Chain A
């Protein structure tokens, strides 16, 4: 079964840069897909196309059950991008409020979303009172609160320190299991892709193309990071990336 079929998609920006060429990818419900590649390989562009924030010049994106409507896409950006004047609770309730759901009826849902990312008790905190990791947790809660059909993440942990990044990766895996959601995760970290994703889609730049796809058979728990199998997968991905990047 396919949730989203990306068929021969190309995107060229008005300045002439060809960001994507002939990208074909099928995403199934419950998938955890990592789009992995160096800067400029079009992985963020592909994510924006999936979100409907941008349109392809060629090819098509076909959704099972029609293109997602308002609130059916959860998006987490590299920065937490919270409203600095709003509390954690107000920030998380924002997607629901924008869809016209009254504030009172969303209260329980918003609190549950904050609890899910481990932020019970921080409902009234403003972004400036929270650490970078906690702000990112609020951002994830905000993306998940509306029960989106797919969760899109654009290098969400790239700006965090390593301890915080590992903690958030572990929590993301737990959330993915608990909510059985579909995740498309953009990263330039081989380690992150190897640990998080079930499918690792390797992309190459200029123009952005899918070089190859690998499956990760690893168990996704914290101890995996210290297993030889993890090292083998990281080395394999590195080899694939290097081969793909080599000038033809």
Chain B
């Protein structure tokens, strides 16, 4: 962490607080940073347990996306038929706005947790899938020839060449998917929360909005973006650590 962003952030917060004081704008329109911190301290367990609930959905969706994305990437690498069958549907899923189909999924999938995970997975799955597919196809033809010359079958080529070669691509995809899983989880929670399913930070945001508890709404927002930044950073550190352990990057 370097200093300039921290200093700039603190300066912006100070300006914000100063402007709120100077103009006397009411907290239900624009709360100042101090009011937001107070709102958080007034109900920390409520907000933090909601954050945990959102993060559980996020990481479950990320895990499902990893299994699904890597599995399907291997499938389309192994078989031309599978590529023709899967690729267009993966793209179709990717370009479908989740806000539009989330109500359907929540209505169709009985269990609310599973429905949230399904929505977040639809959003998060694509970067892992497409990146891993590119990585699996990345070994140069000479190396594939070398494997052939030594009698390696598809399985040995996958295990000893394609999968290790795909690792950096997968990790880059995972990092993008991590942020998207959180976005997907929040979007799904908004839709589900509007239908009365109470958990998650998105529901707190909705609820605070209804009750005009705008400082609490902002506190929930701050927690969300902090969680997003943390996920991005942690996955980045994890990826670099893995690659360094292999003697790369």
Contacts and interface: CB of A to CB of B under 8 A. Distances in A.
Contact of A81 (B142, B156, B167): B142
A99 B147 CA distance: 10
B151 A128 contact: no
B142 A79 contact: yes
Interface stretch (A66-74, A179-187, A194-202, A216-224): A66-74
A52 B124 CA distance: 43
Contacts of B167: 85
A98 B247 contact: no
A3 to B, nearest CB: 17
A117 interface: no
Chain A interface residue number, banded: 20 to 34
B227 to A, nearest CB: 32
Interface in A14-49: 48
B150 interface: yes
Contacts of B145: 48, 51, 53, 75, 77
Residue with the greatest number of chain A CB neighbours at <10 A, chosen from B148, B149, B151:
B149
Contacts of A79: 140, 142
B111 interface: no
A97 B151 contact: no
B150 A94 contact: yes
Contacts, number: 58
Given A53-B149, A71-B151, A83 B247 contact: no
Interface in B149-180: 149-152, 156, 160-161, 164, 167
B29 interface: no
Contacts of A129: 247
B142 A53 contact: no
Contact of B247 (A53, A69, A77, A85): A85
Contact of A73 (B143, B149, B156): B149
A95 interface: yes
B170 to A, nearest CB: 13
A87 B248 CA distance: 11
A165 interface: no
A111 B161 CA distance: 22
A77 B142 contact: yes
B149 A94 contact: no
Nearest to B249: A128
Given A53-B145, A81-B142, A83-B161, A126 B247 contact: yes
Given A79-B142, A81-B142, A85-B164, A128 B149 contact: no
B149 A75 contact: yes
Nearest to B147: A98
B140 A128 contact: no
A83 B162 CA distance: 11
Interface residues of B, number: 19
B211 interface: no
Contacts of B147: 98
A128 B150 contact: no
A228 interface: no
Contact of A98 (B140, B151, B164, B248): B151
B146 A81 contact: yes
B246 A98 contact: no
A144 to B, nearest CB: 13
Contacts of B150: 70-71, 94-95, 98-99, 146
Given A85-B248, A128-B247, A98 B156 contact: yes
Interface in B225-249: 246-248
Contact of A70 (B142, B149, B161, B248): B149
Contacts of B152: 98
Contacts of B160: 94, 97-98
Residue with the greatest number of chain B CB neighbours at <10 A, chosen from A48, A81, A99:
A81
Contact of B149 (A51, A85, A87): A51
Contacts of A52: 149
A53 B142 CA distance: 11
Interface string A123-163: 00010110000000000000000100000000000000000
Sorted nearest first, the 4 A-B pairs with minimum C-beta distance are A70-B151, A126-B247, A98-B150, A85-B246
Interface of B: 140, 142-143, 145-152, 156, 160-161, 164, 167, 246-248
25 contacts: A53-B145, A75-B149, A77-B146, A81-B142, A81-B143, A81-B146, A83-B143, A83-B161, A84-B248, A85-B164, A85-B167, A85-B246, A85-B247, A94-B146, A95-B149, A95-B150, A98-B150, A98-B151, A98-B156, A99-B150, A126-B247, A126-B248, A128-B247, A129-B247, A146-B150
